[in-house]
Structure 1
Amino acid sequence: MFEDLFKKYHELNPNVTIELIPTPIGGAQIQKFQSLLASGNPATIANLDAGTILQYKDKFLDLEPEKAKYEELTKEGAVEGALLEGKFLGIPWSAQGYGLLYNKRVVEEVIGGPFDPSTIQTRDALEDLFKKIEAAGKAPVMVHGADWSLGAHYLGLTYSLQSDSVDENRKFVDSLMDGSVTLADNPQFNGLIDTFDLLKKYNARKNDPLVADYNKDSADFAKGDAAFYFMGDWTWAVIGTLENRDEEFGLIPVPISNNPEDFGNTQVAYSQPKLFAIDDSGSSAEQQEAAKAFLEWLVTSQEGQEAIVSQMGLALPYKDVKVTSTNVISNAVEQYVDQGKVINIGVINYLPQDYWSMTGASMQKYLSDIIDRNALAGEVQAYWIDQARK
């Protein structure tokens, strides 16, 4: 899709040629970026995790002169969420949300009528619904056992639920590292794990929780084998292409307590997982200006929006989106965004690159009942204390 966009842009601007440098998912992307940087021939534009851009902040162009323009173009909070230590180093282009996805047909067949997601604002309300679903002979929830889902998306909420301020959440992580905060005593951590215990109990994969077949988990949920699925709107890339799947899906937050007023019980996790950064270590001024022009075209033009929203199924955090998304889960996320009911998970941009894999391994042990809660808290805290020594 990007190659097609590059060709289209070249037709419109014959003096600009854009070459795609593809990379596999995961660490290979960072390795390719690092190798190009080391060779003295960096890519002019890099599509990277915000944390990676922050790590190499001195290699990227400060986009402060572009900031006001993008504040006008994007939805409220989009640019603020992209700032890295106060600097505008990457242009937001996609947004993702996650929580408990639900298969509308399955849930409504069980309850015998329309499902109002706002009725689930506490852990007890969620369990009551799970009981009804189980009694109807359906699996209440799918828990994907991969380390990235458990470590980054689930346990990672611990760091974002402390406050609605990224700076305050960074201070919390610092407190974990210096030992002044004990994770085992933290109410948000314990609330999350209380809810995780509920997810474990009703997990469709509880007999073999670490199979972690992402395509199968997503397909089984889409076809009604589980009513809920802890996952994000990105799974539409799998679900949207399936035959004989259900049509309607939605999203509810992960409740962490029995008090509807507690932060997180009515908000969904939301982030801009990738940003477009422009090289300032080996690219010419002419290349940089061409990059700025292309990126603006990408997020504002009919062609760019059609590719990102309609074909890729992603959400653009922009005000004037000219195309309608086919991603019904992303559309559900946007309803929370438009109401301001989101958890800003921007603290993850400041976390070590291995935080999710290391703590995700501990979550896998907990999911498999190899360790108990105290041991889980101890392992995660030990990870952060070890980070303080580096």
Structure 2
Amino acid sequence: MQIKKRISLGLSFVMLLSLLAACSSDKTPTGNATPSASPNASPSEASQAQDVKLTFFNTSAEVNTVFEQLFKTYHELNPNVTIELIPTPIGGAQLEKFQSLLASGNPATIANLDPGTILQFKDKFLDLDSEKSKYEQLTKPGAVDGALLDGKFLGIPWTAQGYGLLYNKRVVEESIGGTFDPASIKTRSDLAEVLAKVEAAGKAPVMIHGADWSLGAHYLALAYSLQSNSVEENRKFVENLKNGSVSLMDNPQFAGLMDTFDLLKKYNIRKKDPLVADYNKDSADFAKGETAFYFMGDWTWAVVGPLEGRDQEFGVLPVPISDNPDDFGNTQVAYSEPKLFAIDNSGSTPAQQEAAKAFVEWMVTSEQGQEAIVSQMGLALPYKDVKVKGTNVISDAVNQYTDQGKVINIGVINYLPQDYWAKTGASMQKYLVDKTDREGLAKEVEGYWKSYAGK
């Protein structure tokens, strides 16, 4: 599986959105339906009274075959429902294909898309408000809120990803000479004390991956999400950056985040050549105990899991931004749902829409569906009753935070320009190699946002 598909938290919401133009909404149902429902029939009656064909557009192309097997299983259980995969390549061309289906009036009934794509085409998708309370009961705290787009429930969450300071339990415990309790790290000073102990034990304390997506989308973008636990309030903060009414240098969240970054820089194992940014090597070195901590997400299990000779126990810490344990962010990990299932409302019949709802619910709640998602796809489900145990121990660690509601909803990123991570990530790279100071970084980042004033 390609790296960029497994770092979808950082990249899925920035993929070539500029290629997608608005499409006409006056299309009538076409070959996607078989046959049309009676105009007097309710959606549920229609789906029960006839055979229904659904099409499924999948942007997680690397697991196409897993989805196809799920479609066969579902058809065996529900012979009146046939689901056909619309195959897509890995990369930007899949979004062009999605646009062409909309333009032709033959859209996919179900689409597995990045939240940002759903937001851009929100008028094309079914408002799932009638399903919202059900999924609030089925999912973990914050999952549905994290999936809302402009306040609407347009996509059903089915994957969850989190990130923060990953830790190699063996290395940390050998360094401190005892059992490590991640809950003991509630402040920056707590973290500094552990990093100093690791260094004193002759081990490398931390790894900073120097890629722009990691620095810009994952680290710096925390500043936008840490303003509040409300996505709408965080969007207002970004708008204030655009109009120049806030100063990053005066913002406590930005200041605290960068104070912690300075701490991580001090102990960075890659400090001699921090911009090499070899994702596979960084992940493997962490997994084999070359460093105690690693700023990264649970998606790195795609590299870590199959490694021979790796350590066995890993976990995740929040990134503390102050010395007040009660400050938002000090005990919460960053969390998002990088992909959502959306149902078409521009060319699908009521019968298809009802059948699509039923299939998606089966996929995320049944043992067969969960086995496919958790075991075969290697993903984490943001649901309370997951019947299948996965192998990703880092995701398990993230789940402990989500189960307690200790998460930072980073949904504001769904509303950001497609180049924010690359442009501000480049500024962070300059800061990482001491080519600019804190004030210079703040000016560059503010300059980027002011370039979007009025947009």
> What range is the shorter-chain TM-score in?
over 0.9
Distance in 2 (CA, whole Å) between partners of 1:367 and 1:347 is: 25
Distance in 1 (CA, whole Å) between partners of 2:211 and 2:360 is: 33
> Offset at 1:288?
2.7
Aligned to 2:5: none
Please give the per-residue CA displacement for 1:121-151, whole angstroms capped at 9, x wherever unaligned. Answer: 2222212211221222222111112222111
1:208 pairs with one of 245, 258, 273? 273
SS of 1:19's equivalent in the other structure is: strand
Q: Are 2:149 and 1:84 aligned?
A: yes
Aligned to 1:18: 84
Q: Are 2:291 and 1:226 aligned?
A: yes
Distance in 1 (CA, whole Å) between partners of 2:394 and 2:93 is: 28
Q: Are 2:416 and 1:339 aligned?
A: no
Residue identity opposite 2:83 in structure 1: T
Aligned to 1:75: 140
Is the alpha carbon distance of 1:28 and 1:264 closer, same or farther for their aligned partners in structure 2, counting shifts above 3 Å? farther
Contact 1:78–1:92 (8 Å) recurs in 2: yes
2:182 pairs with one of 110, 117, 129? 117
Q: Are 2:197 and 1:132 aligned?
A: yes
Distance in 1 (CA, whole Å) between partners of 2:170 and 2:195 is: 15
Distance in 1 (CA, whole Å) between partners of 2:263 and 2:429 is: 15
Distance in 2 (CA, whole Å) between partners of 1:156 and 1:312 is: 28
Contact 1:176–1:385 (8 Å) recurs in 2: yes
Q: Are 2:417 and 1:352 aligned?
A: yes
SS of 2:412's equivalent in the other structure is: helix
Is the alpha carbon distance of 1:201 and 1:30 closer, same or farther for their aligned partners in structure 2, counting shifts above 3 Å? farther
What 5-or-longer segments of structure 2 have no aligned partner? 1-65
What 5-or-longer segments of structure 1 have no aligned partner? none
Distance in 1 (CA, whole Å) between partners of 2:83 and 2:185 is: 51
Is the alpha carbon distance of 1:10 and 1:213 closer, same or farther for their aligned partners in structure 2, counting shifts above 3 Å? farther
Is the alpha carbon distance of 1:163 and 1:13 closer, same or farther for their aligned partners in structure 2, counting shifts above 3 Å? same
Distance in 1 (CA, whole Å) between partners of 2:448 and 2:177 is: 47
Of 9-18 and 170-179, the range deviating more from structure 2:
9-18
Please give the per-residue CA displacement for 1:237-258, whole angstroms capped at 9, x wherever unaligned. Answer: 2211111111100111101112
Of 68-77 and 324-333, the range deviating more from structure 2:
68-77
Aligned to 2:30: none
Distance in 1 (CA, whole Å) between partners of 2:89 and 2:264 is: 34
Aligned length: 389
Is the alpha carbon distance of 1:90 and 1:2 closer, same or farther for their aligned partners in structure 2, counting shifts above 3 Å? same
Please give the per-residue CA displacement for 1:285-305, whole angstroms capped at 9, x wherever unaligned. Answer: 343333222211110111110
> Offset at 1:20?
4.3
Contact 1:313–1:325 (8 Å) recurs in 2: yes
Contact 1:100–1:252 (8 Å) recurs in 2: yes
Distance in 2 (CA, whole Å) between partners of 1:273 and 1:97 is: 10
Contact 1:148–1:356 (8 Å) recurs in 2: yes
Q: Are 2:159 and 1:107 aligned?
A: no
Q: Percent identity?
A: 76
Contact 2:159–2:337 (8 Å) recurs in 1: yes
Distance in 2 (CA, whole Å) between partners of 1:133 and 1:20 is: 51
Q: Are 2:379 and 1:314 aligned?
A: yes
1:178 pairs with one of 239, 243, 263? 243
Of 76-85 and 1-10, the range deviating more from structure 2:
1-10
Residue identity opposite 1:118 in structure 2: A
Aligned to 1:148: 213
1:57 pairs with one of 122, 127, 144? 122
SS of 2:434's equivalent in the other structure is: coil
Contact 2:141–2:402 (8 Å) recurs in 1: no
Aligned to 1:260: 325
2:309 pairs with one of 239, 244, 256? 244
Distance in 1 (CA, whole Å) between partners of 2:267 and 2:353 is: 52
Distance in 1 (CA, whole Å) between partners of 2:222 and 2:251 is: 13
TM-score, structure 1 as length reference: 0.94
> Offset at 1:163?
1.2
Is the alpha carbon distance of 1:203 and 1:34 closer, same or farther for their aligned partners in structure 2, counting shifts above 3 Å? farther
Residue identity opposite 2:268 in structure 1: N
Is the alpha carbon distance of 1:35 and 1:134 closer, same or farther for their aligned partners in structure 2, counting shifts above 3 Å? farther
Distance in 2 (CA, whole Å) between partners of 1:184 and 1:32 is: 43
> Offset at 1:28?
4.5
1:279 pairs with one of 337, 341, 344? 344
Aligned to 2:427: 362
Residue identity opposite 1:262 in structure 2: D
Of 234-243 and 100-109, the range deviating more from structure 2:
234-243
Structure showing greater radius of gyration is 2
Aligned to 2:263: 198
Distance in 2 (CA, whole Å) between partners of 1:296 and 1:54 is: 22
Distance in 2 (CA, whole Å) between partners of 1:195 and 1:28 is: 39
> Offset at 1:160?
0.9
Residue identity opposite 2:273 in structure 1: D
Contact 2:189–2:323 (8 Å) recurs in 1: yes
RMSD: 1.8
Is the alpha carbon distance of 1:121 and 1:29 closer, same or farther for their aligned partners in structure 2, counting shifts above 3 Å? farther
TM-score, structure 2 as length reference: 0.81
Please give the per-residue CA displacement for 1:178-206, whole angstroms capped at 9, x wherever unaligned. Answer: 11101122111111111111112211222
